[in-house]
Amino acid sequence: MPESDCSGVSPAQLQHVQGLWEKERKDRDGPIRQFLLRATEVARSSSSASLNGIRRAQNKYLSSEKGARYAGEQGYPQRVKADATDVDDMIRRHPEVFRSGETPVADGVLNTGKMWTLHQGCCKSCRGRSASASFIRAETRLSSGKSGCLYPMLHRVLTHGSSPLGDDQMPTPLPGKPTGTRNYPPADTHFAEAYEAEIGKMAVSQPHLGTVLLPCSWQPDSSSGGNVPPPGTIHPCSIVLKNSDRARAFMLTGKPIDDMRALRRANEVLLKDGQKKVKTRPTTDCSISGLNACLLPCPFFIPGRDEVAGMMEPNCWLGKIDISSYFFRIPLAYEARLHFRVWCNGKLWEYSRCCFGTATTPYLACTLSAEVGKWLRHIGAPCSYYVDDFTFVAPSLRDLDVLLDKSVALLNLVGLYCDPSKTEKGQELIILGLLHDSVRMQLRVDPTSALAAVLHLESLRGKLLDVMSGRRPAACLGSAQLASLTGKLNWFCEVLQSGRSRIRGFTKLLQYGADVPASDWRFLKEDLEWWIARCKAWAAGSSLHGANPFVDIRRWECERPQSRSGVSVFTSDASGVDDRGGFLHPLEDDSDPLFFSKRWGTPGVVYSSHFAEIMALHDLLHSGAVLPDGETLLWITDSLGAALSVNKGNCRAPWSYRLVRQIMTRADLRRIGIVALWVPRECNEAADYLSHLATELGRPEVSGRLLTGGQPDGDDHTTC
């Protein structure tokens, strides 16, 4: 987009463009102002927010019921997720998750009486009512679709236990999968000693937790030769070591942890160095047993890190606490426990609490976290939470200590015990896998986490080579490990826009295994090497293209044209037949925008609307347009699908996907953060006119500056 190259454009055409632009200024301001308000909401009461958080909030809005009213004419499918900060919304969208038992459980550790008192302190609707009476009211509200407090349904789960399966549901094991008395190799062989020790801990009463596993009284019938399987549902188990723990040990020993001997050696070295031992955690596979197939998918949106960014101020103090064994604190109903059984050392055990591996347990736990967040805010301890992690922000260390003490006391009081050894605080703090720095006001990848990812990625590379050469079966890839790695890389995308466009290969591998479509193999190989290179750089302490600064929202709210906001606005449109074009201007001043119109390079080819719209953004980033490095770019388009794709940094359509990769790579190189906004077609007529102008003029491209402050300069169109 050169500053001026619009020879051949008549004064009448310029006046027409100018008229459309002036006509739309107010219409265009509406979506921008609404967006800025939503961005401010992401930042809460603070002035800062992460760009990824703002993008997520924008996509959440575009995919919401409210946004659907504007976008419905485009026929874009709406996928509205439950809001994990709203207890009522979580329960209303998926009430089946909150099925409870018939009788109160007697082996729980929660102080449900105190919980009800705390809820009543925050809820006028339930004040002065018993929990049982409020539960009946909540059921009536839910069945009739009326608004009102639904927390009593969650409270019923806490008192009577969770019963996730319906009366007519019976899990059926997946065909061809291991069942019976066998666990996965990590639990049966590699780390059998650690697995037995963890099961042993859960089978005895622990301080602050009680007994999680209970012995089953079932014994095989000798008359049948012991061939009759036990009743209920038995799940195979495994033992998991955190990748960050593996990385810590590798840094000291230089050797991987692949068996008990290596684990003992690593723990000895870690303890001598003053570090914590490697944590081992038993997991339960409720998918192979068929239990998860009986449970409906329940997607939800949890802000977590976005809220932390919104609470942060320069040089503030951060603190976090962790609820110990969070899932194990939610009781299972007596009648549900036969479907939660495991083997260990030839003995059959059943869970008395919710366990890792059940599809609906995270949904249930996050709903409880939302309620706990209400209680903490009510006592003057505002916080952000992500499942069992609660983060607090304060202007000074003294203020932070007061908040932490107050919060820990409340959580311990209701039976949500917080381990003091896991309480952390500082101005640089790892929160949800990323380093939050309040001095530099940025997000970074923690070097230890990056090293853990390198080890995992290089292991995957070796396995892929073995599978492709036929030396090892595809099963060696390990779906659970691959899912964990993909999740970790998704976290890292918080500091790298282009990361979202480099995940596709991993998700395809997770979906198809070794049968990944041939067209995706190249992406997988490229993405693998791309991530290895970046994670190695982060592990070495480099923040090159890996430090995401927080955005100062106050600069976005400036009154035009008093100050430079650091935000540019690009409004574009495209025709798959003719051209694409758009306008570029600073947020604070749209009086004299740059404009361009550009024809397709191959005549006669018709491009999809989705591809064409994204191509206009691609043209801007790869042109000589006056767009300063380090800028935030608001891209306005009338294509909802294109807006969602760019905000996600990914899309399904192959050709559009390649474009998005190029856009995000270029944006990261120039440190340009992109946020897409959607407007109705009738609010984008000026850009629509530009999407045909170059063809109308018979030129490959036309560009210039639209001087709306006065009339175009006669026949001299060197400056438009």
Question: What per-residue confidence (pLDDT) applies to 376?
Answer: 95
Q: What are phi and psi of 109, to 5 degrees?
A: -115, -5
198 CB-contact burial (10 Å; exposed 0-12 / middle 13-18 / buried 19+)? buried
| Prediction pTM value | 0.81
Question: What per-residue confidence (pLDDT) applies to 713?
Answer: 40
User: Smallest Cα–Cα separation from 422: which of 382, 376, 377, 388?
Assistant: 388
Q: What single letter denotes the amino acid at residue 575?
A: S
Top-confidence residue, 117 or 682: 117
pLDDT > 80? residue 242: yes
pLDDT > 80? residue 707: no
Top-confidence residue, 713 or 107: 107
Q: What is the DSSP letter of 188?
A: I
Question: What per-residue confidence (pLDDT) applies to 561?
Answer: 41
Question: What per-residue confidence (pLDDT) applies to 709?
Answer: 53
Instruction: Report angle CA 466, 472, 478 to the nearest 5 degrees.
Output: 90
Question: What per-residue confidence (pLDDT) applies to 710?
Answer: 43
Query: Predicted confidence band at 374 (pLDDT cuts at 50, 70, 90)?
Result: very high
Q: What is the mean pLDDT of residues 636-648?
A: 89
Q: What is the mean pLDDT of residues 521-530?
A: 85
Query: Predicted confidence band at 513 (pLDDT cuts at 50, 70, 90)?
Result: confident
For 265-311, the pLDDT digits (tens) are 999 999 998 888 998 999 999 988 889 989 988 888 887 677 788 78
pLDDT > 60? residue 181: no
Question: What per-residue confidence (pLDDT) applies to 76?
Answer: 45
β-strands 632-637, 567-574 pairing: parallel
* The total number of residues written for the chain in this structure: 720
Query: Predicted confidence band at 3 (pLDDT cuts at 50, 70, 90)?
Result: very low
**Cα gap 134→124, rounded to integer Å:** 12
Question: What per-residue confidence (pLDDT) applies to 45?
Answer: 47
Question: What per-residue confidence (pLDDT) applies to 564?
Answer: 63
Top-confidence residue, 452 or 194: 194
Most confident of 5-9, 309-313, 518-522: 309-313
Identify whether the C-beta of residue 147 lies closer than 8 Å to the C-beta of residue 89: no
pLDDT > 60? residue 176: no
Token output for 50: 């992460």
- CA 623 distance to own-chain centroid: 32
324 CB-contact burial (10 Å; exposed 0-12 / middle 13-18 / buried 19+)? middle
Question: What per-residue confidence (pLDDT) applies to 405?
Answer: 95
Strands of the sheet containing 428-431, edge to edge, are 428-431, 434-437, 442-445, 547-549
Q: CA of 505: how far to CAs of 42, 159, 514, 528, 530, in Å? A: 31, 45, 12, 8, 11
Q: What is the DSSP letter of 3?
A: S
**Cα gap 381→215, rounded to integer Å:** 41
Identify whether the C-beta of residue 428 lies closer than 8 Å to the C-beta of residue 437: yes
Query: Predicted confidence band at 339 (pLDDT cuts at 50, 70, 90)?
Result: very high
Question: What per-residue confidence (pLDDT) applies to 482?
Answer: 78
Top-confidence residue, 718 or 559: 559
Query: Predicted confidence band at 464 (pLDDT cuts at 50, 70, 90)?
Result: confident
**Cα gap 129→127, rounded to integer Å:** 6
Q: What is the mean pLDDT of residues 520-536?
A: 86
**Count of CB atoms situated within 10 Å of the CB of 561:** 13
Token output for 297: 């998918």
**Cα gap 703→584, rounded to integer Å:** 11
- For the ranges 426-435, 497-506, 509-518, 637-646, the lowest mean pLDDT is seen at 509-518
- For the ranges 20-29, 102-111, 248-257, 388-397, the lowest mean pLDDT is seen at 20-29
pLDDT > 90? residue 400: yes
Question: What per-residue confidence (pLDDT) applies to 546?
Answer: 61
Question: What per-residue confidence (pLDDT) applies to 72?
Answer: 46
Question: What per-residue confidence (pLDDT) applies to 363?
Answer: 95
pLDDT > 80? residue 480: no
Question: What per-residue confidence (pLDDT) applies to 715?
Answer: 34
Helix %, strand %, coil % of the chain (to 5): 50, 15, 35
Identify whether the C-beta of residue 261 lies closer than 8 Å to the C-beta of residue 273: no
3-class state of residue 518 by DSSP: helix
pLDDT > 90? residue 604: no
3-class state of residue 233 by DSSP: coil
Query: Predicted confidence band at 68 (pLDDT cuts at 50, 70, 90)?
Result: low
pLDDT > 50? residue 720: no
- For the ranges 46-60, 429-443, 573-587, 641-655, the lowest mean pLDDT is seen at 46-60
For 138-164, the pLDDT digits (tens) are 999 999 988 899 999 999 999 999 999
Question: What per-residue confidence (pLDDT) applies to 198?
Answer: 93
Q: What is the mean pLDDT of residues 312-341?
A: 93
- For the ranges 317-331, 379-393, 417-431, 478-492, the lowest mean pLDDT is seen at 478-492
pLDDT > 80? residue 212: yes
| pLDDT > 90: percent of the chain | 34
Q: What is the mean pLDDT of residues 354-360?
A: 91
Identify whether the C-beta of residue 50 lies closer than 8 Å to the C-beta of residue 308: no
Top-confidence residue, 171 or 165: 165
**Count of CB atoms situated within 10 Å of the CB of 617:** 25
- For the ranges 52-56, 113-117, 657-661, 681-685, the lowest mean pLDDT is seen at 52-56
pLDDT > 80? residue 642: yes
Q: CA of 446: how far to CAs of 49, 251, 538, 583, in Å? A: 20, 14, 7, 39
- CA 353 distance to own-chain centroid: 27
Most confident of 55-69, 199-213, 516-530, 685-699: 199-213
Instruction: Share the mean pLDDT of the chain.
Output: 83
Q: Please provide the distance, in angstroms rounded to a whole number, between the alpha carbons at the two ends of the chain.
A: 13
Q: Which residue has the tokens 């790695």?
A: 485
Q: Which residues contact 98 (CB under 8 A, 6 or more apart)?
A: 91, 153, 154, 156, 157, 364, 367
Query: Predicted confidence band at 97 (pLDDT cuts at 50, 70, 90)?
Result: very high
3-class state of residue 451 by DSSP: helix
Torsion of CA 255, 258, 260, 261, to 10 degrees: -40
Identify whether the C-beta of residue 438 lies closer than 8 Å to the C-beta of residue 312: yes
pLDDT > 70? residue 78: no
Q: Which residues contact 719 (CB under 8 A, 6 or more apart)?
A: 4, 704, 705, 707, 713
The enclosing H or E element of 344 equals strand 341-344
